[in-house]
Structure 1
Amino acid sequence: MSLCRVHSLPYRPDPASYFALVRHAPGAVLLDAGRPQAERGRYDLLSAWPLATYAAEAHDSGKRFFQRLRAGLDQLGRAEAPDGCELPFTGGLIGYLSYDFGRRLERLPEQAADDLQLPDARFGLYAWALVSDHQRQTSQLLFHPALADSERERLIQLFEAGHPAPCPPFSLRQAFRADQSQDDYCHAIQRIQAYIQAGDCYQVNFAQRFQAPCQGDAWSAYQALRAACPTPFAGFQALEGGDAILSLSPERFLQVSQGRVETRPIKGTRPRGASSADDQANADELVGSAKDRAENLMIVDLLRNDLGRSCKTGSVRVPELFALESYPNVHHLVSAVTGELAEDHDALDLIAGSFPGGSITGAPKIRAMQIIDELEPTRRALYCGSLLYLDVRGELDSSIAIRSLLIKDGTVSCWGGGGIVADSDWQAEYQESITKVKVLLQTLEAL
């Protein structure tokens, strides 16, 4: 049995100072639990200098791309954590799937403009990582057995004695602007409700995009956003040419740990109140809302079906329903669906049967995605995709890439949306789509 090597470092609840040492390295990536402010995340995970990189090619089906990922994991080889050492990752894949990767898994239209030209998927294969465990308050370098001794020593030296270079500032050249007018948004909601009345669907998640020209270092932008809105499924992924993915997601997509599967869909939102009394009133209203509970339950049922494709028969459960989770800008209604992965399925099978997450499509999923492609003028790119790791043991954790931004070619893009049902009020939905991302937009506009 191959074992990883582990080297202890001083524990740091904020990964920024460690990540700054590799910020400009090829394939630099951080999955961030948002500590010490965010309470629910346990691990930070960062790495760089991947052994190989996998991007979805034009000819790749979802099945073919996932086979390439499996081959990479097999080539790296299974490795275990040392006895007594809890590690979420022992070497493997870290990267993203865009929302549009769903076209490689299901037959979907291609009406929306692909103006951002982001690859549908991009992963690095990593033989080392720095993991901070906020439950045990440890920070450790882990090294897969395939990593050369010289590289291991170089990394130990870097993280023990390295000094990060100063980080240039980030700023917007203009304020954010929405892609759609209020009239266009209203018309789209009316079209969705017509589809619902016709029996095409029950719910459609509809989003609008905000963009602004920008300059400077994306890492500076991420640090400002993290300070303003810490979340347990955040992340930063460097792309080519100084571009980057910045995610402040509060939502888990899929986790696999020792064969146990969990997804935690969010459906139901209220803004934080200006006073403690207003804030509590908003939270109470959300928890007691029959409409929000019905929408949440609709998505829970969809996800039970998705998990059932890859889990043992009879193992899918709903241990948590309509729980309240609160963040700096919003309250959310969250549920949990769990299962046991079937012996003839792996984590990539689970993703293939569940992607993209039902909480950000609608129900039924495929018809909702067809309507999204018809009514949203541009492709979602990163938005509502997933940032994830998948290690050589089959351990997986992933987010839904909401509250997320893409910095590409001198423009920063951010999306906000929500679930539309038969009795949705378009003005309230329009305001909710702004409320969800307002703290992100205002934070960058203030830099």
Structure 2
Amino acid sequence: MIEYISLPFKLTAIEIFNQIRELGDAVLLDSCQPESQFGRYDIIAAAPDRKLRVNNQGTWIRGVSSSDWSLTQKEPFSILNEWLEELKVPTDLQAPFNTGLIGSFSYDLGRHLEKLPSISEADIHYPDLEIGRYLWAVVIDHHQQHSHLVYHSDWINSQDAERLVERLTQPAHHAAERPKFKLNKPFISNLSAKRYADALEKVDEYIHAGDVYQINFAQRFQSSFEGDPWQAWTALRRIAPTPYAAYIENDQGAVLSLSPERFLWCNAQGEVETRPIKGTRPRDSDPDLDLALQEELSNSEKDRAENLMIVDLLRNDLSKVCQPGSVKVPELFSLETYPNVHHLVSSITGRLDKPFTPLDLLKHSFPGGSITGAPKIRAMEIIDELEPHRRSIYCGSIAYISACGYMNSSITIRTLLCEQQQIYCWAGGGIVADSDIASEYQETFNKVNNLLQNLEMHFLDF
């Protein structure tokens, strides 16, 4: 059964994460309240009882009592559905996450779901899927202004739960001091301006040949670092609060996400929503110019057409697992504003059909259409041909899938990955028939300059 213990609402998600981080495999899903105008819940958890990892060597499982991973031939989504079913949680509960799964789904997980070429270089070894089953979590509800430790009493006894509460509410836990984060050099791109332009010329050829209607093309920025990535994430969160921010760390590295984009949401009643972003303009410090940029984006025929293509793609993806006739588009071309950009956002909804689960919805829609292009599989083939390196965590997803039937997930844009003392960040945009190469190239910088420049400003060390 699910039990709740109230916690002081004054405890922030960052403070709670600091208190539980040493327990291992810590995760923070942060709505960045009150700075962000969107979002409601923060979810913080650690010490999963089971973990699942998918990489190019196969599917691996690890239990809480062992540090050893065992190889399995079972299909990973089937395993995860079984893990949720074992918890036997009712659906009428107080919070959207009441024990369940939390983890990251890299873009390259798509290679395990579809037959794709292997042209781009695979120089990052972070898992394609890394997810844990968490039997307790702290859930902060910013609308109701309350916080709870949520735990499964069939799996965790009350004494252990009380020890967790004590850990959370006592003065700051004095962990071993971690080395300060620092960058060793400025970020550099894996594409020169010329190579970017050459790739877009090739995309244009594919579009005019009728292969695709749109391609999401990206460049990757890379530096090397030392120290604790958590310090970098907390600095970025201050300057870029977003509703789908997340920090995940494990023995493979750390994911630092400041994503504004929802991928898939599903509640216990089977209601489904996805909110693709297509269309971007930079912010301006002059209020009149900023308003002009908003109006330009809202009225842009090119951006609206690009957004509509992805809406149609996602309607098709949702229709694979939703009840016939239930897929609707209640919101089209809405404007959302963030600290550094304006975005054009739409909403597609549906109702999950039986016997599909939220994990089935994610599997059949992955990766998100807003960051591939249309049609999806051909777009992914062209991305693999033209982008020099595999995307890894970029344009994948971070998700929680609760045992009570709720799921929420992001698209991992505005996301950095720290692995083997290297730090990576990506930025891309949708390319259509009338795209301007110079504008598209600049747009990639507009999307991540606030992240990369702030890291260089505060942490670059020569």
TM-score, normalised to structure 2, is: 0.93
How far has the Cα of 1:149 moved from its partner?
2.7
Q: 1:7 aligns with which of 2, 5, 18?
A: 5
Q: 1:154 aligns with which of 144, 149, 163?
A: 163
Matched position secondary structure for 1:169 = coil
Match of 2:353 among 342, 361, 365: 342
Is 1:219 the equivalent of 2:230?
A: yes
- Aligned mates of 2:131, 2:157 — CA distance in 1: 21
Does residue 370 (structure 1) correspond to residue 381 (structure 2)? The answer is yes
SS in 1 for 2:226: strand
Note the C-alpha offset of 1:164.
Answer: 3.6
Q: Is the 8 A contact 2:91 2:405 kept in 1?
A: no
Map Cα deviations across residues 259-286 of structure 1 (whole Å, 9 max, x no partner): 1000000000000013001100101100
> What's 1:246 paired with?
256
CA shift at 1:180, angstroms? 1.0
Task: Give the paired residue count.
Answer: 441
The aligned counterpart of 2:62 is: none
- Residues 57-98 of structure 1 deviation map (CA, whole Å, 9 limit, x = unaligned): 53459981101111222233324565xxx2011111000100
Out of 7, 29, 34, the residue aligned to residue 31 of structure 1 is 29
1:118 aligns with 126
Q: Within 5 A, what are the aligned runs for 1:327-406? A: 327-406=338-417
Q: In the alignment, what sits opposite 2:95? A: 87
Report 1:6-405 matches (<5 A).
6-12=4-10, 14-57=12-55, 58-60=57-59, 64-79=75-90, 86-145=94-153, 146-165=155-174, 168-240=179-251, 243-257=253-267, 258-405=269-416
The structural deviation recorded for 1:25 is: 2.5
Structure 1: how far apart are the matches of 2:8 and 2:91? 23
Alignment root-mean-square deviation, CA? 1.6
Query: Which whole-Å CA distance do the structure 2 matches of 1:225 and 1:345 have between them?
Result: 37
Separation in structure 2 between the aligned mates of residue 164 and residue 328 of structure 1, nearest angstrom: 33
Q: Which moved more, 1:265-274 or 1:67-76?
A: 67-76
Please give the alpha-carbon distance, in whole angstroms, between the structure 1 residues aligned to 2:173 and 2:290. 40
Secondary structure of 1:320's aligned partner: strand
Name the stretch that deviates more: 154-163 or 295-304: 154-163
Q: Structure 1 residues 142 and 187 mapped into 2: Cα distance closer, same or farther (>3 Å)?
A: same
**Structure 1 residues 205, 134: closer, same or farther in 2, change over 3 A?**
same
Cα distance in 1 between the residues matched to 2:58 and 2:246: 29
Offset, 1:225: 0.5
8 Å Cα contact 2:2/2:89 also seen in 1: no
> In the alignment, does 2:420 pair up with 1:409?
yes
Unaligned residue ranges in structure 1 (runs of 5+):
none
Q: Distance in 2 between matches of 1:62 and 1:252?
A: 31
Alpha-carbon offset, residue 118 of structure 1: 1.1
Gaps of 5+ in 2: 60-71
Structure 1 residue ranges (4+ consecutive) displaced by more than 6 angstroms after TM superposition: none
Cα separation, 2, equivalents of 1:259 and 1:287: 32
Contact map agreement 1:13 1:35 (CA 8 A) in 2: no
Give the distance between the partners of 2:98 and 2:282, measured in 1 at CA: 39
Counterpart amino acid of 1:49?
A
Instruction: Give % identity.
Output: 49
TM-score normalized with structure 1 length = 0.96
Structure 2 Cα separation of the partners of residues 37 and 52 of structure 1: 34
> What is the CA–CA distance in structure 1 between the aligned matches of 2:379 and 2:427, rounded to whole Å?
17
CA contact (8 A) 1:254 1:263 kept: yes
- Paired AA for residue 146 in structure 2: T
Letter of the aligned partner of 2:28 in structure 1? L
2: CA distance between counterparts of 1:289 and 1:75?
50
Deviations 1:174-220 (A, max 9, x none): 11111111111111000000000100000000000001111111111
Partners in 2 of 1:207 and 1:162 — Cα distance? 44
CA distance, structure 1, for counterparts of residue 171 and residue 76 of structure 2: 37
Cα deviation for residue 36 of structure 1 reads: 1.2
Structure 2 residue 450 is matched with structure 1 residue 439? yes
**C-alpha displacement of 1:357:** 0.4
CA distance in 2 between counterparts of 1:406 and 1:11 reads 31
